Amino acid sequence: MSSAAENTLSIGEVLSMLKKEFPDVSISKIRFLETEGLVTPARSASGYRRFDTHDVARLRVVLTMQRDQYLPLKVIKDQLASDADQAGISAPVASAGGVRPDDFRPGAGRIRLTRSELAAETGLPEEIIIALEKDGLVWANAAGHFDEDSVQICEITAKLSQFGVEPRHLRSFRVVANRESGLVEQIATPYSHPRDRDAKARAQQTVRELASLFVQLHAALLRAELIRSGSG
């Protein structure tokens, strides 16, 4: 199992991950968000910033709220704190309620990594990535490259591994994802009309909205179940 340090990213690596989605972001911007208390990366023994999956997810949320809602940083900070307090659980799960349809826009192709590069990027050993491939949780394209979805899945897997979670424990997630993607496509089909030139765009937007609602439902059900069982 890789150490916590191996499962974190440098500020330069974080910048590379965010740059495609947020072209205006810079290292100085990330540092500024840290000084404002929007993100709190750990520090290595040498004093370098080390960002984990939660840090990167939080940065995405902050940058998205700035870009799409034009909110001041203080408002964003207060809203994130309020969301986490109301959920009564950790911020990564609490933020799921803030998933938006646009988060499901196709982005494959912006990142192209080999398996070894994916391992270096996420701190996940190659043998674990191979296990994820066998279980259909990540996959490479015809050229042998992995995309940003694979990066995120591997980052989450790396964090879960610190709690003793193994790839075999994640197989059910793939089964559920397959079943739900089929249901989403089935529901969206009536919104697509062959003679309507805007039908494809409308159907795609419907898919994104449904996917967002499904993720929010998962978060709500998990929260409710944890509270009911006394674990929350």
Is 110 within the bounds of a domain? no
Q: Which structural domain range is residue 13 located in?
A: 5-104
Examine the fold and report which residue of 60, 76, 104 is the final residue of a domain before the chain moves on: 104
Q: How far apart are CA 161 and CA 178, in angstroms?
A: 23
Structure confidence at residue 202 (pLDDT): 72
96 and 142 share one domain: no
136 and 63 share one domain: no
72 and 12 share one domain: yes
Cα torsion at 55, 59, 65, 70 (round to 10°)?
Answer: 140
23 and 63 share one domain: yes
Q: How far apart are CA 143 and CA 26, in angstroms?
A: 30
27 and 98 share one domain: yes
Average pLDDT for 168-178: 88
Residue 122, pLDDT above cutoff 90: no
14 and 89 share one domain: yes
Is 43 within the bounds of a domain? yes
Is 157 within the bounds of a domain? yes
* CATH number of the domain to which 17 belongs: 1.10.1660.10
Query: Rg of the chain over CA atoms, in angstroms?
Result: 19
Q: Which residues contact 72 (CB under 8 A, 6 or more apart)?
A: none
Q: How far apart are CA 22 and CA 29, in angstroms?
A: 11
Grade residue 198 by pLDDT with cuts at 50, 70 and 90: low
Work out the angle at residue 217's Cα, subtended by the Cα atoms of residues 207 and 40, and round it to the nearest 5 degrees.
Answer: 100
Residue 208, pLDDT above cutoff 50: yes
Give per-residue pLDDT as tens, 27-85: 999 999 999 899 999 988 778 899 988 888 899 999 998 888 888 888 888 888 776 55
145 and 198 share one domain: no
Structure confidence at residue 96 (pLDDT): 44
198 and 132 share one domain: no
Structure confidence at residue 230 (pLDDT): 73
What's the number of CA atoms in the CB half-sphere (13 Å) around residue 218?
A: 15
- Mind giving me the DSSP string for the chain? ---TGGG-B-HHHHHHHHHTT-TT--HHHHHHHHHTTS---EE-TTS-EEB-HHHHHHHHHHHHHHHHH---HHHHHHHHHHHHHHHTS-HHHHGGGG--GGGGS--TTS--B-HHHHHHHHT--HHHHHHHHHTTSS---TTS-B-HHHHHHHHHHHHHHTTT--GGGGHHHHHHHHHHHHHHHHHHGGG--TT-TTHHHHHHHHHHHHHHHHHHHHHHHHHHHHHHHT--
46 phi, psi to nearest 5 deg: -90, 0
pTM over 0.75: no
Percent of the chain clearing pLDDT 70 (strictly above): 80
94 and 42 share one domain: yes
Report the mean per-residue pLDDT for the chain: 80
Is 67 within the bounds of a domain? yes
Residue 175, pLDDT above cutoff 60: yes
Q: How far apart are CA 59 and CA 41, in angstroms?
A: 11
11 and 67 share one domain: yes
Structure confidence at residue 99 (pLDDT): 57
Cα 66 → chain centroid: 18
151 and 83 share one domain: no
Domain count, the chain: 3
Give per-residue pLDDT as tens, 91-108: 443 344 455 565 566 654
